[in-house]
């Protein structure tokens, strides 16, 4: 779901909050489930700031595993009911005004998702992030005034990805990420995601606010704030279907 899209991976179930030497695989596997769990339901607000306008949308989102997610826009009225369904590698949008479902073609994957700085690809690629990237802990110790792990993700040779490198900083004590840096293939920083407003839900420390900052447009950004997240919500696979997409207005 979108939370994942956003995190692109980071997360860890907490073993003990104290400094065990943690295994990379363990770290990745758990980081992966931070905003998602097995199933989840969340309310969030996305604020997109561009040179020309600032726009807030509130949305409701559901997810099941890494392959299924559904987001429905609640506010503003103009866009109410517009929904995005992600199932495996496919994305569909439902447009209530014209009552049509459109599939996002692969050529449009790098296009903006709902006018934000996230791309459709961010939604799709997060489910294959573990398969596409190799991770290593490249730093462990004191940084930014706290004990952190620095995870570096490098794409596997044949992986169809846009990033040349992704670096994620995780606070050791809570095992919550606080910053991700995305580099292109030339090694230039393309965008930065910062995480804050940590909250403890079901034993995990979850950042409730994500801010995506594109490097080439310093005056623009997209911010997502979670009002609430519930995990372990009963949601069947059939919930993530084109029928639900149309009904969930």
> What residue ranges bind other proteins (CB under 8 A)?
48, 50-53, 55, 76, 78-79, 82, 93, 95, 97-100, 102-105, 107-108, 111-112, 114-115
- Identify which of residues 131 and 216 has a Cβ nearer to other proteins in the complex: 216
- Identify which of residues 116 and 194 has a Cβ nearer to other proteins in the complex: 116
Both structure tokens of 235: 């949601």
**Please, what is the minimum distance in Å from the beta carbon of residue 66 to other proteins?**
24
The C-alpha atoms of residue 137 and residue 176 are separated, in whole angstroms, by 15
- Identify which of residues 44 and 175 has a Cβ nearer to other proteins in the complex: 44
Picking from 240, 246, 238, the residue whose alpha carbon sits closest to that of residue 1 is: 240
**Please, what is the minimum distance in Å from the beta carbon of residue 240 to other proteins?**
19
**Please, what is the minimum distance in Å from the beta carbon of residue 82 to other proteins?**
5
**Please, what is the minimum distance in Å from the beta carbon of residue 53 to other proteins?**
5
**What distances in angstroms separate CA 237 from CA 15, 84, 87, 161, 229, one per listed residue?**
29, 16, 10, 27, 19
- Identify which of residues 113 and 153 has a Cβ nearer to other proteins in the complex: 113
The C-alpha atoms of residue 149 and residue 24 are separated, in whole angstroms, by 10
């Amino acid at each position: 779901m979108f939370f994942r899209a956003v995190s692109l991976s980071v997360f860890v179930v907490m073993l003990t909050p104290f400094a065990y030497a943690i295994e990379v695989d363990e770290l990745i596997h758990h980081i992966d489930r931070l905003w998602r769990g097995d199933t989840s339901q969340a309310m969030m607000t996305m604020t997109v700031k561009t040179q020309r306008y600032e726009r807030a949308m509130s949305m409701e989102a559901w997810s099941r595993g890494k392959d299924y997610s559904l987001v429905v826009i609640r506010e503003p009225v103009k866009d109410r009911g517009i929904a995005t369904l992600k199932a495996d590698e496919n994305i569909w949008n439902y447009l209530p005004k014209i009552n049509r479902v459109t599939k996002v073609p692969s050529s449009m994957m790098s296009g903006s998702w709902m006018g934000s700085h996230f791309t459709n690809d961010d939604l799709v690629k997060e489910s294959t992030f573990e398969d596409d990237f190799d991770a290593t802990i490249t730093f462990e110790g004191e940084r930014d005034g706290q004990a952190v792990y620095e995870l570096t993700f490098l794409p596997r040779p044949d992986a169809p990805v846009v990033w040349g490198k992704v670096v994620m900083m995780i606070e050791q004590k809570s095992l919550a990420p606080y910053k991700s840096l995305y580099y292109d293939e030339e090694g230039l920083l393309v965008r930065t995601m910062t995480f804050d407003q940590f909250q403890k839900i079901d034993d995990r420390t979850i950042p409730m606010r994500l801010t995506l900052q594109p490097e080439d447009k310093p005056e623009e950004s997209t911010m997502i704030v979670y009002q609430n997240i519930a995990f372990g919500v009963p949601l069947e696979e059939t919930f993530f279907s084109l029928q639900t997409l149309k009904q969930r207005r």
